[in-house]
Amino acid sequence: MTTSNVVFLLIVTAGAGFFALNVQRLVRYLRIGLAENRTNEPGVRVKNVLSIGIAQSKIFRDHIAGPMHAAIFWGFIVLTAGTVEILIQGVFSDFSYDAILPEPVYRFYAFSQDGFALLVLGAIGFALYRRLVLHPRRLEGDKLEHTDALIILSLIGGLMLTLLLTNAYAYLAGSTLVGPEKFASRLTAQMLGRSVTSPGYWAGVFWWGHVVILLIFLNYLPYSKHLHVITSLINVFFSNTSGPGQKGVMRPMDLEADVEQFGASDVDHLTWKNLLDGYSCTECGRCTAACPANITGKPLSPRKIVINTRQRLMEKAPLATGDRMEFIHPRLVHGEGGATGAETASQVLGERLLDNYITEEELWACTSCRACVQECPVSIDQLDIINQMRRYLVLSESRFPEEIQPAFESLERNGSPWAFSPADRGRWAEGMDIPTMAEAMERGQRPDILFWVGCMGSFDDRAKKITVAFARILKACGINFAILGQEEHCHGDPARRMGNEYLYQMLAKDTIGTLDRYDVKTIVTSCPHCFHQIGNEFPDFGGNYEVIHHSTFIERLLEQNLVPLQGEDGKRLTVAYHDSCYLGRYNDIYDAPRATLKRALPVVDIVEPKRSRDRGLCCGAGGGRMWMEERQGKRINVERTEELLATGADTIAVACPFCMTMISDGVKAAESDVPVLDIAEVVAGQLVS
């Protein structure tokens, strides 16, 4: 072993040791969060890692930044093999894969190294150009964030350059290891010219340069947003945002638990996974760019929610864990928004994530549309943090926009978020000869299907027309169904979305009791919120039913030719369909409503607005926003309606009673007279009379 080998070993050990210390520190910080099991269904998790992580499927949703990032990412993976070779060379100077790999494989390896080095250099160049010249809006961070990004890009650039230069000089020094496959290295050598003196010396210098930059890079990561380089794949593995389990299902809370508080007001009441999300955020801003609240000028930014979580964690965790390495307390971690961070220990302990970093207004602005979750390339669940904090506000402090109190009270007393008498729930069905479950049972009948009408469908005059339309279709197809009538009441979803888990569980458990009493197996509903709640969230409380949204149900009926439709009436319609969040992003139902329209209407053109399907913009009613005032910025429904009207469609179709209200209001605000119809109404309009 030469001196240089020994020096190398010392440096690498120091570098790796320091890195290990940081990793261990970061893991310890995560432990201040609450426990949560995220290892179920490892198969699905590995699949997510392969598709979202390795294949970068979400990264590619952005057609410009996507390929660029993928090039760097894949380059990194490929080049890691080379890095390992270089590290071994540090100890055994003459080592080369050449010695252990079969010839063709080695040649391919050698080629890939140079190929990806070039690709990465190109991508870095483009990234720098984008940051320094183009300035896309979603990358607007603070100064620290910019410096951080530039440092990282330079380090990666440096790694690639030193790699090529080491090889080039080695080639000039006559190394046989730089074969023609290392074309870029040879090209570099050519540019350097044959006249350089002592190429062997320079090869050594750049080799050392490469090693040192590598170690700097590694140890810089824990202080930077580029921690995601290490955590993102891990985060994708532990994430639930693309399964396992149904998407967007809120975690049930144990309300009997003897805990000091319900919900989260600070990082130690979030789960370790929420905190890992903080480590993993790349600050790409894709979430915020898709957020309807942010787009329309509300104070909410999902990116800020995640960044603030990390910022606060980095501030509080050292104190909470008694970290003696506080001197390396990552001041580099920057924030977003007004909060500058606490200076002294007592200040740190006196502050918390809620209020000091994330305000109530931000939390209440969320429509729970899941656009942020959908967009995030590293499977971060911004919405989960928001929901946990809303729960704290309501359950622990009873703090919420005052206008939702009547909704809570009415849910408690009348079983509907609006103060309507439960006795009037079944009124829409008067004269339609639709039995209630109770009536059917009394007559000794067993309905195959329960039509869950929902509160909007029962009480809102516009939505009642949808209810009637759907009931007419069911009857025309001879479906044996019943309703609950007076026995139906809200399943509690609005309360849950507004953070009132207590009220939600009361209503949900009661509803499950009613459904089980009638031994209900299959439920159809025209409301996506009821559909999601009963179908996806009730199982956590022991309610298991097959729930079918009316768009899917009607489509199946149409497919089986069960619906007696009129023929061609010569009208040509151009329809723009608005995707409901709870149907689309929560349940991946995008095609059924469109297919229903196509099948039911003889001549129809379906046009898509600027944002549609899984990128569709929320109507603004979700997350309990239906019961809140929209005091700031542009109204979300107006923004959305403008997009829909811009398609030039002569009809707008929806598949949700809440979307119906919001989009109809938007159309009125735009002083347009384009009709807004539910798909059930479209189909009912085609029934033979």
Positions in the binding site for ligand SF4 (CB under 6 A): 281-287, 290-293, 300, 302-303, 306, 366-372, 375-376, 378, 380, 382-383
Q: Is 486 in the site for another protein (CB under 8 A)?
A: yes
422 binds, among another protein, ligand SF4, none (CB under 5 to 8 A by kind): another protein
CB atoms within 10 A of CB 616: 27
Going by C-alpha positions, the residue among 354, 389, 382, 353 that lies closest to residue 368 is: 382
Residues 6 or more apart in contact with residue 321 via CB below 8 angstroms: 28, 29, 31, 32
Closer Cβ to another protein, 25 or 625, answer by number: 625
CB contact at 8 A, 166 and 203: yes
Q: How far is the CB of 89 from ligand SF4 (least distance, A)?
A: 36
243 three-class SS: strand
Tell me, by CB under 8 A, how many residues bind another protein: 47
352 three-class SS: coil
Residues 6 or more apart in contact with residue 24 via CB below 8 angstroms: none
**Per-residue buried b or exposed e for 507-528, using 16+ beta carbons within 10 Å of the residue's own CB:** bbeebbeebeebebeebbbbbb
375 binds, among ligand SF4, another protein, none (CB under 5 to 8 A by kind): ligand SF4
606 three-class SS: strand
- Greatest Cα pair distance, the chain, in angstroms, is 102
Q: Could you give the CA distance from residue 292 to residue 45 in angstroms, rounded to a whole number?
A: 29
Binder of another protein out of 521, 556, 571, 668 (CB under 8 A): 668
**Binding marks (x or -) toward another protein, 626..655, rule CB under 8 A?**
-xxxxx---x--------------------
Structure letter (DSSP) for residue 97: G
**Residue 295, token pair as written in the block:** 């787009």
412 binds, among another protein, ligand SF4, none (CB under 5 to 8 A by kind): another protein
Task: Walk across the sheet containing 449-452 and list its strands.
Answer: 481-482, 449-452, 522-525, 546-549
Q: How far is the CB of 679 from ligand SF4 (least distance, A)?
A: 24
Q: Is 361 in the site for another protein (CB under 8 A)?
A: no
Q: Which stretch binds another protein (CB under 8 A): 114-122, 303-311, 367-375, 399-407?
A: 399-407
Q: Is 661 in the site for another protein (CB under 8 A)?
A: yes
Q: How far is the CB of 490 from another protein (least distance, A)?
A: 13
Can the peptide bond before residue 244 be classed as cis, meaning omega within 30 degrees of 0?
Answer: yes
Question: Using alpha carbons only, what angle is made at residue 49 by residues 44 and 50, rounded to the nearest 5 degrees?
Answer: 95
Residues 6 or more apart in contact with residue 573 via CB below 8 angstroms: 601, 603, 604, 605, 650, 651
Strand pairing report for 449-452 and 522-525: parallel
Query: CA–CA distance from 11 to each of 202, 232, 327, 473 (Å)?
Result: 20, 27, 22, 76
Q: Is 459 in the site for another protein (CB under 8 A)?
A: yes
CB contact at 8 A, 347 and 274: no
652 three-class SS: strand
Q: How far is the CB of 628 from another protein (least distance, A)?
A: 7
Binder of another protein out of 206, 217, 220, 408 (CB under 8 A): 408
- The alpha carbon of residue 178 and the mean position of all alpha carbons in its chain are separated, in whole angstroms, by 45
Binder of another protein out of 6, 7, 54, 669 (CB under 8 A): 669
Q: How far is the CB of 476 from another protein (least distance, A)?
A: 23
Binder of another protein out of 175, 396, 514, 632 (CB under 8 A): 396
Closer Cβ to another protein, 209 or 401, answer by number: 401
Q: How far is the CB of 629 from another protein (least distance, A)?
A: 6
287 binds, among ligand SF4, another protein, none (CB under 5 to 8 A by kind): ligand SF4
525 binds, among another protein, ligand SF4, none (CB under 5 to 8 A by kind): none
Q: Which stretch binds another protein (CB under 8 A): 310-318, 460-468, 563-571, 595-603?
A: 460-468
357 binds, among ligand SF4, another protein, none (CB under 5 to 8 A by kind): none
Q: Is 420 in the site for another protein (CB under 8 A)?
A: yes
Q: How far is the CB of 285 from ligand SF4 (least distance, A)?
A: 5
Q: Is 556 in the site for another protein (CB under 8 A)?
A: no
- Residue 524 β-bridge partners: 451, 548
540 binds, among another protein, ligand SF4, none (CB under 5 to 8 A by kind): none
Q: Is 398 in the site for another protein (CB under 8 A)?
A: yes
Q: Which stretch binds another protein (CB under 8 A): 97-105, 120-128, 283-291, 421-429?
A: 421-429
Going by C-alpha positions, the residue among 532, 637, 546 that lies closest to residue 582 is: 532
**Binding marks (x or -) toward another protein, 571..590, rule CB under 8 A?**
--------------------
Closer Cβ to ligand SF4, 213 or 313, answer by number: 313
**Residue 373, token pair as written in the block:** 């979750």
Sign (positive or negative) of CA dihedral 232, 233, 237, 238: negative
456 binds, among ligand SF4, another protein, none (CB under 5 to 8 A by kind): another protein
Closer Cβ to another protein, 100 or 257, answer by number: 257
CB contact at 8 A, 611 and 556: no
Q: Which stretch binds another protein (CB under 8 A): 48-56, 119-127, 353-361, 621-629?
A: 621-629
Q: Could you give the CA distance from residue 159 to residue 215 in angstroms, rounded to a whole number?
A: 10
Going by C-alpha positions, the residue among 291, 320, 317, 319 that lies closest to residue 304 is: 291
Q: Is 684 in the site for another protein (CB under 8 A)?
A: no
419 binds, among ligand SF4, another protein, none (CB under 5 to 8 A by kind): another protein
Question: Using alpha carbons only, what angle is made at residue 386 by residues 382 and 387, rounded to the nearest 5 degrees?
Answer: 115
Closer Cβ to another protein, 45 or 465, answer by number: 465
- Cβ-in-10-Å burial (0-12, 13-18, 19+) of 230 comes to middle
Closer Cβ to another protein, 236 or 656, answer by number: 656
Which spans of this chain sit near another protein (rule: CB under 8 A)?
Answer: 255, 261-262, 394-398, 400, 402-403, 405-410, 412-415, 418-424, 456, 459-463, 486, 501-502, 627-631, 635, 661, 665, 668-669
